């Protein structure tokens, strides 16, 4: 495993009680972070289709990829590093990754908690006029 640090600036979908449903990092980086969190475009930050969700800018730092993920944002950054082939699967610690990720229903309006799907369906149908 690699003891490298990693960091990323991204966007997360969060609930009103600050549960992270997903996080997207356009370019995670290995090494120490140097960019300020305000480099995420603020035009995409704000409320979502479901009134109880919002998009927030996140800056995530991982001290060592040998350590297990500490929260959902950390886990998503590790998954992005894997997807972008910046690390190999055996080079980072993914122990407990599913324990820090929330159960999420993936919809055409974005992620939402599974028990909110019916409410989201009503909101989207009313917007479509059907």
CA dihedral (58, 62, 68, 73) in degrees, to 10, reads: 10
CA distance 108 to 88: 31
Whole-model pTM over 0.95: no
Q: What is the pLDDT along the chain (130 residues), one digit of tens a residue?
A: 668 999 999 999 999 889 999 999 988 888 887 666 556 555 555 566 677 888 888 899 999 999 999 999 999 999 999 999 999 988 999 999 999 999 999 988 889 999 988 888 888 788 776 5
CATH of 6-128, one of 3.40.50.150, 3.30.70.2010, 3.40.640.10, 3.40.190.10: 3.30.70.2010
- pLDDT the model gives residue 31: 86
- pLDDT the model gives residue 73: 96
Domain boundaries, the chain: 6-128
- pLDDT the model gives residue 99: 97
- The percent helix, strand, coil of the chain (3-state, each to 5) is 30, 25, 40
CA distance 83 to 104: 20
CA distance 33 to 11: 16
CA distance 40 to 12: 11
Bridge partners of 6, per DSSP, are 30, 62
CA distance 77 to 97: 11
Bridge partners of 110, per DSSP, are 107
């Amino acid at each position: 495993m690699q003891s490298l640090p990693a960091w990323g600036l991204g966007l997360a979908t969060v609930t009103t009680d600050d549960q992270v449903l997903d996080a997207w990092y356009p370019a995670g980086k290995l090494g120490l972070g140097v960019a300020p969190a305000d480099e995420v475009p603020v035009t995409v930050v704000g409320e979502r289709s479901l009134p109880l969700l919002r998009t927030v800018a996140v800056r995530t730092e991982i001290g060592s990829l040998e350590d297990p993920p500490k929260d959902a944002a950390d886990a998503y950054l590790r998954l992005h590093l894997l997807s972008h082939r910046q690390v190999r699967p055996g080079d980072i610690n993914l122990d407990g990754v599913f324990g820090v990720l929330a159960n999420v229903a993936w919809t055409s309006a974005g992620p939402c908690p599974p028990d909110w799907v019916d409410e989201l369906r009503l909101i989207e149908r009313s917007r479509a006029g059907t």
